Amino acid sequence: MRTLVRFFVFVGILLFLAFSARAAVTAKYRAYGENVLHVYNWGDYVDPALLERFQEETGIRVVYETFDSNEEMLAKLRQGGTSYDIAVPSDYAIQRLIREGLLLPIDHSRLPNLRHIDPRFLDLPFDPGNRYSVPYFWGTLGIAYRPDRVPIEIQSWWDLWSPELRGQVLLVDGPREVVGIGLQALGYSLNDSDPAHLEEAKALLDSLVPNVKAIVGDEIRVLLAQDEASVGVIWSGDAKSVLEHNESFEYVIPKEGSNIWFDNFVIPKTARNVEGAYKFIDFFLDPEIAAQNAEYVGFATPNRGAFALLPEEVTSDERFYPPEDVLRRLEVYLDLGRDAVARYNELFLEFKMHRK
Amino acid sequence: MDGGRVRRMWEQMGGRLGKAYLVFVFFLLYAPIVYLIAFSFNAGDTMYAWEGFSLDWYRELLHDERLFVIALNTLVIALASSILATGVGTAGALLIGMSEARRRREALLLLNNVLLVSPDVQIGISFLLLFTLAGIALGEGSVLLAHVAFSVPIVVLMVLPQVEKMPKTLLDAAYDLGASHRDVLFRVILPYITPGILAGFFMALTYSFDDFAVTFFVTGGGFSTLPVEIYSRARRGVSLELNALSALLFLLSFAFAFGYYWIQRREMRPRTEVRR
């Protein structure tokens, strides 16, 4: 018995030590009291220095949590056990959140900096009138490749099928993205849910198999930057980070068009600190802040004021701020409803399995 | 050839083969860890090329305050949940072990073991749904509850054999000598099953320490543990800082294992002596 008592006293002391060490480290947060803002965002999607600055200026402590996919975020928001004050979903996810009544309407009069947003990025089909969301970043899907390693000049989705690229192509692990490639190569819309067209796209994708090296997630950035593959279908912001690490890469938006996406701020219904949420959104709408953030994150800013502040070499780069005629060829993902989403997932899974 | 020589040869060969096999298995188990730890000392920032020795990643780790808080979270949850689970589990094992009705005992044990072999994701989702239904906010409290819950069956499983091994005559003797229920529990039963309780505690500790799936579902409100944090960082491309962290965690696991071994041996020794 004595052994047992002594042992658990020892464990208790350890627990107490760990507890007090944590209290000591987090002591400075206590000054913020209840004034905490829970932000739910993509990984590495904000300049940490700006979060610091926001905390200092407003006295609101930011608790920053991350997710990897819209689906993960949707699941947590639907579940309701957490009380995020801000979330940053993409277009079609916003549409779904609105339809399910999970968001608070945005009071535009409380966001004086909203006027800095380029009108082109407001009033989009997934949230008409921006009643529930405020633009944060936008970008495209395209092809990053090494012109010095690949014997062809890539300009179109069809180029991915060229026999010279055998076993060299990395794809993003997303059903809508990959099935979308097939649809667009065939000249259909990215939001097509006609079963016959989907079937056709799938058959076309099956013939892409010999060229596919792997289907990967966020690590696609590292794999390309480290020359594990010469071609990758990739998001523009990720492409930018690849280009920064490895200058031999080039990024193109295929001439058939591609996906343009928007990540917007929303305030979930479960938010507890709505006041803080407005302050946070307005803070990031400030042109100077938005410009600094855009430089850190690498995606394109929808903020006109920030755009003007960014260095010329960034804003003139048509790969990441495509000109009007390219923009017109880009399509936003719409929420296709449960059945079509299931069909996309199924086809994508079949495609992945077909590979082996 | 006579049978004896064949057998000896066979045994010799088997012995050597056995040893080679053992070496092979341990190599398989430890090679990735060694590789990972080696690269935590890399001066470069990838696992692809060795660019010289440096302690930079450990330095960076030291300055990562968020990670430090998360490491402490993990430790607090692991210690607290294992203490609670050890209490609950030991009581449970005593109730199951002492139960006279064989049917009921087996039924309880079966329920316990089903929980033990249930996939973590399923347990995690179930807890998520339960907490949502009960209106419990996700955060440290929900993680602690979930960890206690999945650790209890392990403790029961570790303590139960000791309870069953305990000769009933020992209890009878104690009662005959005038011991009260209290005395029997604290002076006879608990000392007898101490090795099981300690084993249960350490198993619960390791389970809690490396649990990812359950924690992933029930965490929230800015609270995170190392497995969850490492997972979300790794998705963005593995920084060697994580290698450094893993190296330290590996040392900690070693310390746990040795601690357990040491206590277990000390515990075994007095068992052969006469106890007052």
- The predicted complex's ipTM stands at 0.80
Residue A116 vs residues A46, A288, A289, A327, B27: alpha-carbon distances, Å: 19, 11, 12, 20, 60
Q: d(Cα A74, Cα A69) in Å, to the nearest integer?
A: 9
Rounded CA separation A19/A23 (Å) = 6
B152 and B187 together in one domain: yes
Q: Are residues B82 and B12 in the same domain?
A: no
Tell me whether residue A351 is exposed, middle or buried, using C-beta atoms within 10 angstroms of its C-beta: 0 to 12, 13 to 18, 19 or more: buried
Tell me the chain A residues in contact with residue B237 when contact means C-beta distances shorter than 8 Å. Answer: 218-219, 221-222
Q: Which positions in chain B touch A22 (Cβ < 8 Å)? A: 69, 72-73, 76
Query: Which chain B positions have a beta carbon within 8 Å of A218's beta carbon?
Result: 235-237
Residue with structure tokens 């041996």? B265
Residue B46 in any domain: the answer is no
Report the C-alpha gap between A16 and B80 in whole angstroms: 10
| Contacts of A4 by beta carbon, 8 Å cutoff, 6+ apart | B190, B191, B194, B197, B198
Same structural domain, A166 and A85: no
The predicted-structure confidence for A284-322, as pLDDT tens digits, reads as follows 999 999 999 998 888 899 999 999 999 988 888 888 898
Decide if B187 and A22 are in contact by the 8 Å CB cutoff. Answer: no
Does residue A44 have a pLDDT over 90? Answer: no
A140 in Cβ contact with A236 (< 8 Å): yes
pLDDT > 80? residue A45: yes
Question: pLDDT 10s digit of each residue in chain B, 276 long?
Answer: 566 777 787 777 777 888 899 999 999 999 999 998 998 898 877 777 788 888 888 988 888 888 888 989 999 999 999 999 999 999 999 988 888 788 888 888 899 889 888 999 999 999 988 988 888 888 889 999 999 999 999 999 999 999 988 888 998 999 999 989 899 999 899 999 998 999 999 999 989 988 999 998 888 777 889 888 888 777 666 678 888 988 998 898 888 888 878 877 876 665 544 444
Give the whole-angstrom CA distance, residue A289 versus residue B115: 51
Is the Cβ pair B79, A14 closer than 8 Å?
A: yes
CA dist., res. A140 & res. A298, Å (int): 12
Which among A68, A167, A127, A138 is positioned nearest to A301, based on CA atoms?
A138
**What are the pLDDT digits (tens) for A140-183?**
999 999 999 888 899 999 999 999 888 889 998 888 889 999 99
Domain match, B35 and B118 both: no
Q: How far apart are CA B220 and CA B223, in angstroms?
A: 6
Placement of tokens 């000791």 in the chain: B162
pLDDT score, position B276: 44
**Contact between B79 and A18 using a beta-carbon 8 Å cutoff:** yes
Q: Which phi and psi (to 5°) does residue A319 adopt? A: -70, -35
d(CA A121, CA A130): 10
**Do A235 and A99 have their domain in common?**
no
**Scanning the structure block, which residue is given the tokens 């193109």?**
A252
Average pLDDT over residues A5-25: 90
Distance CA A250, CA A354 (A): 30
- Pick the residue from chain B with its C-alpha nearest to A61: B222
Q: Which residues pair with A62 in a beta bridge?
A: A37
Domain membership of residue B275 (yes or no) is: no
**In chain A, whose CA is at the least distance from the CA of B222?**
A63
Q: Which residue of A has its CA nearest to B194?
A: A4
Residues B169 and B120 in one domain: yes
What residues of chain B have any CB closer than 8 angstroms to a CB in chain A? 46, 48, 65, 68-69, 72-73, 75-76, 79-80, 82-83, 128, 131-132, 136-138, 142, 186-187, 190-191, 194, 197-198, 201, 220-222, 224, 232-233, 235-238, 263, 266-267
* Same-domain pairing of A132 and A51: yes
β-bridge partners, A212: A169
Do A85 and A106 lie in one domain? The reply is: yes
A67 domain residue, yes or no: yes
* A217: CATH: 3.40.190.10
Looking at residue B106, what is its pLDDT?
87
How many domains is chain B built from?
Answer: 2
Mean pLDDT, residues A129-150? 93
Provide the domain limits for residue A70.
36-138+262-315
Q: Are residues A226 and B46, on separate chains, in Cβ contact within 8 Å?
A: yes
Answer whether A186's CB lies under 8 Å from A197's CB: yes
Return the higher-pLDDT residue of B100 and A132.
Answer: A132
Q: What is the pLDDT of residue A276?
A: 93
CB B228 within 8 A of CB B71: no
Q: Which of B205, B35, B214 is nearest to A18 (CA)?
A: B205
Per the CB < 8 A criterion, the answer to whether A255 and A156 are in contact is: yes
At A355 the pLDDT is 62
Q: Are residues B28 and B160 in the same domain?
A: no
A7: tokens are 């042992």
Number of domains in chain A: 2
Contacts of A226 in chain B (CB under 8 A): 46, 48
Q: Are residues B110 and B141 in the same domain?
A: yes
Query: Which pLDDT score, from 0 to 100, does residue A81 have?
Result: 65
Pairing of strands A169-172, A212-216: parallel
Q: Does A29 touch chain B (CB under 8 A)?
A: no
Alpha-carbon dihedral angle through residues A278, A281, A283, A285, given to the nearest 10 degrees: -130
Residue of A nearest to B202 (CA): A11
pLDDT digits (tens, 9 = 90+) for A58-90: 989 888 888 877 877 888 888 776 778 999 999
Shortest distance between the Cα of A263 and any Cα of chain B, in A, equals 18
The whole-number pLDDT of residue B274 equals: 46
Whether B236 is in a domain gets the answer yes
Res A182: pLDDT: 92
Q: Residues of A at the annotated binding site for spermidine?
A: 92
Alpha helices in chain A (DSSP H): 2-25, 27-30, 48-58, 70-79, 91-99, 175-185, 195-206, 220-225, 236-245, 274-285, 287-297, 304-309, 312-315, 324-327, 338-354
Contact state of B72 with A217 under an 8 Å Cβ cutoff? no
CA atoms within 13 Å, Cβ hemisphere of A130: 21
Same structural domain, A167 and A178: yes
User: Which residues span the domain enclosing B153?
Assistant: 58-268
